[in-house]
């Protein structure tokens, strides 16, 4: 497979990005603007009521973010002019026909101009309202496909999914497409069109009963989980994403389609700088809570494999896949993760964060170092429930008795505690499939893509890396960096591999931090650039 230079491929191209204010999408946009300023145009689809609102969100939630620091420094006072020429905000919504783009002339212009479509629009809430998740993750994907079919010069449609559409499978998980209306538990009754009808009937029933907005939201969330589990998926998010993949595969015809399935996406490893993350995501929340001394126990099995991948590696893979699969009239699925070539067990992760926060404790508001202990590992849901009963539920019962004696004096406090306990139990159920996950994501297609870049001698200085590697430091660094600021790496010797220095940076201040990569076989480079990170033994 001969690959064109990535910067050359993107030159003069017109790209549509849906879900443009999302984490990966804005990282993709930043990368394009930074390494190929001669891109013709970026259309960014943003959920907004009108153009003014979409433009405001573009500047506040995308361009104005610290992620664009390097681009901002490069263009200086000319940044606004550069952005106005290259980036167009479009009010729209993938849940609607034609992506909610109401301007007929604009639609026709896009159909003539577009070379690439990146669909990253999604709701990632595990227990999202079923109607919302179905509209965005499932039928939203179909709406993007229908829009793409009208584009006369389209070279590739890239759809961002998730590796966890596999549900709770164990062992090797292949980069295989779903068959239409396939289920994970062997049920033959899934009908995607009928699911939409189920939602509409359920909503009409609730409204007919005079249900409040809060009651409708709660009921629709429960419905999503119920329907997901009926067919073998653990939650609404992965279930609706899987159905979205099914629709894309079934109706794509000859349109070139790439489905990217990333695992747990964490902070950036290298580009545009190390340690950038937005908010506290997935495993980062665990690390941040532990470092601040608020997490005293871990729900998880010692042998559970954590699959973490830095955001910039996912973006690099996306771009290389666009180049490799353009005009191919085929479908390819790419796992972007680390568990196949570089697995790390939960027990190792726990030891790493304990070691770090012991040597580099965070500082509390009163200026004192926060001490952490190794924490209790709750290795099954039965143990977790027993732990919750002894530590929280039984004391709450005693509190309730005391409250009755004192004429409901503590009622507000009791209600607050009950709410927190119920929330904790619900979260444990939602995250159970992942804290006890025993699968490993085969990344053979991604590996072949990387090999093709090597064989083509692609100059990848600007697109320096694509592949699979566990960035444990990325997870820890992102979590702590997002809260406490700049951090600096310490060296960690890895068997069979030279020491690696990972220097992270955010814009919030300074705090010591570390980063590391584990496993010699995991570090995949694109072309011949290794970031010059390897230091002598």
Q: Three-state SS for 219?
A: helix
User: CA 399 to CA 414: how far, in whole Å?
Assistant: 7
Please give the distance of CA 167 from its chain centroid, rounded to a whole number.
Answer: 16
The single-letter DSSP state of residue 304 is: P
Beta strands in 270-373 (DSSP E): 297-299, 305-306, 308-310, 331-336, 344-345
Q: Are the beta carbons of 441 and 343 closer than 8 angstroms? A: no
CA angle 312/86/525 to nearest 5° reads 25
What distance in Å separates the CA atoms of residue 185 and residue 163, rounded to the nearest whole number?
18
Decide: 134 and 241 in contact? Cβ < 8 Å.
Answer: no
Q: Cα–Cα distance between 503 and 512 in angstroms, integer? A: 10
Which DSSP string corresponds to 414-457?
HHHHHHHHHHHHHHHHHHHHHHT--EEE--HHHHHHHHHHHHTT
- Closest of 222, 266, 331 to residue 27, by C-alpha: 266
Q: Angle of helix 472-484 relative to helix 283-291, nearest 10 degrees?
A: 60
Report yes or no: 340 and 443 within 8 Å, Cβ to Cβ: yes
Omega of the bond leading into 76 within 30 degrees of 0 (cis): no
Q: Strands 14-18, 116-119: parallel, antiparallel or unpaired by DSSP?
A: parallel
Torsion of CA 494, 500, 503, 504, to 10 degrees: -50
Find the farthest-apart pair of alpha carbons in the chain and give their distance in angstroms, rounded: 79
Residues in CB range of 478: below 8 A, 6 or more apart: 266, 267, 268, 275, 276, 277, 281, 284
Per-residue DSSP letter, 178: P
Helix (H) or strand (E) holding 379: none
Under 8 Å CB-to-CB from 37, ≥6 apart: which residues?
82, 86
Collapsing DSSP states into helix, strand and coil, what is residue 190?
Answer: coil
Residue 59 is classified by DSSP as I
Distance CA 382, CA 371 (A): 29
Beta bridge partners of 45: 90
* Catalytic annotation, residues: 237, 241
């Amino acid at each position: 497979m001969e690959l064109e230079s990535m910067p050359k491929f993107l030159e003069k191209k017109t790209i549509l990005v849906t879900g443009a204010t999302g984490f990966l999408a804005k990282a993709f946009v930043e990368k394009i603007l930074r390494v190929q300023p001669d891109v013709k145009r970026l259309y960014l689809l943003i959920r907004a009521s009108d153009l003014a609102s979409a433009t405001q969100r573009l500047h506040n939630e995308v361009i104005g973010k610290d992620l664009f620091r390097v681009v901002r420094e490069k263009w200086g006072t000319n940044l606004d002019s550069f952005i106005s020429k290259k980036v167009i905000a479009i009010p729209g919504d993938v849940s609607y026909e034609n992506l909610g783009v109401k301007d007929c002339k604009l639609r026709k212009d896009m159909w003539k101009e577009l070379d690439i479509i990146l669909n990253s629009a999604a709701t990632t809430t595990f227990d999202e309202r079923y109607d919302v998740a179905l509209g965005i993750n499932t039928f939203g994907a179909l709406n993007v496909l229908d829009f793409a079919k009208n584009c006369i010069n389209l070279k590739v449609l890239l759809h961002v999914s998730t590796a966890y559409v596999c549900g709770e499978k164990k062992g090797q998980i292949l980069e295989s497409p779903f068959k239409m209306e396939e289920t994970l538990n062997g049920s033959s009754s899934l009908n995607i069109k009928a699911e939409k009808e189920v939602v509409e009937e359920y909503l009409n029933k609730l409204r007919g009963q005079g249900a409040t907005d809060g009651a409708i939201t709660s009921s629709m969330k429960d419905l999503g989980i119920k329907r997901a589990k009926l067919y073998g998926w653990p939650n609404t998010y992965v279930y609706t994403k899987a159905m979205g993949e099914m629709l894309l595969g079934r109706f794509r015809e000859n349109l070139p389609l790439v489905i990217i399935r990333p695992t747990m996406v964490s902070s950036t490893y290298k580009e545009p700088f190390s340690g950038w993350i937005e908010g506290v995501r997935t495993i980062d929340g665990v690390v941040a809570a532990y470092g601040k001394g608020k997490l005293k126990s871990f729900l998880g099995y010692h042998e559970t494999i954590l699959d973490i991948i830095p955001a910039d590696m996912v973006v690099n893979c996306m771009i290389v896949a666009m180049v490799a699969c353009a005009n191919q009239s085929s479908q390819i699925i790419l796992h972007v993760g680390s568990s196949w070539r570089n697995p790390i067990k939960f027990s190792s992760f726990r030891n790493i964060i304990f070691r770090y926060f012991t040597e580099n404790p965070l500082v509390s508001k009163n200026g004192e170092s926060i001490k952490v202990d190794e924490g209790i590992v709750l290795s099954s849901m039965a143990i977790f429930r027993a732990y919750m009963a002894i530590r929280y539920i039984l004391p709450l019962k005693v509190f309730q008795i005391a409250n009755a004696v004192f004429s409901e004096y503590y009622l507000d406090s009791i209600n607050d505690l009950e709410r927190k306990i119920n929330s904790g139990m619900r979260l444990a159920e939602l995250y159970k499939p992942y804290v006890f996950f025993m699968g490993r994501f085969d990344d053979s297609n991604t590996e072949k893509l990387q090999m093709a870049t090597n064989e083509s001698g692609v100059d990848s200085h600007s697109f320096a890396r694509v592949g699979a590697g566990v960035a444990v430091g990325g997870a820890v660094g992102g979590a702590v960096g997002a809260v406490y600021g700049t951090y600096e790496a310490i060296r960690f010797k890895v068997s069979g591999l030279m020491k690696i220095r990972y220097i992270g940076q955010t814009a919030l201040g300074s705090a010591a931090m570390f980063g590391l990569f584990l496993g010699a076989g995991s570090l995949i480079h694109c072309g011949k650039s290794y970031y010059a990170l390897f230091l002598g033994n």
